[in-house]
A = this chain, B = another copy of it.
Amino acid sequence: MTIDSIAISKLTERLGYQFNTPALLVQALTHRSFAANNNERLEFLGDSALNFIVAHQLFQRFSKLPEGDLSRLRAQLVKESTLSEIALSLELGDALKLGEGELKSAGWRRPSILADALEAIIGAVYLDGGFASVESLILKLYQDKLAQIDPKLIDKDPKSQLQEYLQGKKIDLPDYKVVSINGEAHAQIFKIECVIEKCAISTLGEGTSRRIAEQQAAQLALEKIKDDR
């Protein structure tokens, strides 16, 4: 066995998944600095699989949490530093295929490279074994992190806070209106107005998704309400 194939067989063991097509795992470990046939497309696929499966886990486990909280919990679980931490625990760096420049600059321990490769592995497992396989891989990788979440420690998001405040005062819920959407499809900027007629409040939020813009507008409305009291 070569050093490479030893690293890959150790990684396979830690993943707890045996590939039907081992070439998929090799591709998932191939950084763009090494070859044109690299892991970037698999990363795109794996990223979305991870987002979905983690969303479902949070949805199931926290049946009372509003979507804003679920969204924030997920962001914590799928962010680069969390992914690279999991990748380190798998000793994924040993099995990476990196170009010379990346080898010189210790690319095997760079968080972005580790996180991308882990997402690519997730994509590769989905292609290789289907949905059930990738779901159980993610459950295995995230077992501890999912178990450690304490929903009581989540700050309520601004929209939920505003809604609860208004419901407590028996005031109609705010109206969120799209003011404008600008930019290219993959990098749009949304402007959303939050209107609370009864309080004569109108605020403007901005962000790269409707959700983020709404939260910002709600935050500003909350601040206005506090100022008015």
Chain A residues close to B by CB (< 8 Å): 32-33, 40-41, 43-45, 48-49, 51-52, 55-56, 59, 65-67, 70-72, 75-76, 79-80, 99, 101, 111-112, 123, 126, 131, 163, 172-173, 175-176, 178, 181, 184-188, 207-208, 210, 212, 215
One complex includes copies of this chain to the number of 2
Could you list 20 further interchain pairs (A-B, Cβ under 8 angstroms) beyond the known A44-B55, A49-B55, A75-B188? A40-B66, A41-B66, A41-B67, A41-B70, A43-B67, A44-B59, A44-B70, A48-B51, A51-B52, A52-B52, A56-B126, A75-B185, A79-B185, A99-B173, A101-B172, A101-B175, A111-B178, A112-B176, A112-B210, A208-B208
| 27 A-B contacts (beta carbon < 8 Å) | A32-B173, A40-B66, A40-B67, A41-B65, A41-B70, A43-B67, A44-B55, A44-B59, A44-B70, A44-B71, A45-B55, A48-B51, A49-B52, A51-B51, A59-B123, A72-B184, A72-B185, A72-B186, A75-B186, A76-B185, A79-B188, A80-B181, A101-B172, A131-B131, A187-B215, A207-B208, A208-B208
Taken together as a complex, chains A and B put the C-alpha atoms of A199 and B81 apart, in Å, by: 31
Smallest CB-CB separation from A209: which chain B residue? B208
- Inter-chain contact A55/B66, CB cutoff 8 Å: no
Q: How far is the CB of A35 from chain B (nearest CB, A)?
A: 11
Residues in chain B near residue A45, CB distance under 8 A: 55-56, 59
Smallest CB-CB separation from A80: which chain B residue? B210
Residues in chain B near residue A112, CB distance under 8 A: 176, 178, 210
- Kindly list the 3 A-B residue pairs having the minimum CB-CB distance in the complex, ordered from nearest: A44-B67, A52-B52, A75-B185
Residues in chain B near residue A33, CB distance under 8 A: 173
Taken together as a complex, chains A and B put the C-alpha atoms of A185 and B81 apart, in Å, by: 11
Smallest CB-CB separation from A63: which chain B residue? B41
Taken together as a complex, chains A and B put the C-alpha atoms of A27 and B137 apart, in Å, by: 31
Residues in chain B near residue A131, CB distance under 8 A: 131
Residues in chain B near residue A99, CB distance under 8 A: 173
Residues in chain B near residue A111, CB distance under 8 A: 178
Q: How far is the CB of A27 from chain B (nearest CB, A)?
A: 12
Taken together as a complex, chains A and B put the C-alpha atoms of A80 and B67 apart, in Å, by: 18
Q: How far is the CB of A198 from chain B (nearest CB, A)?
A: 11
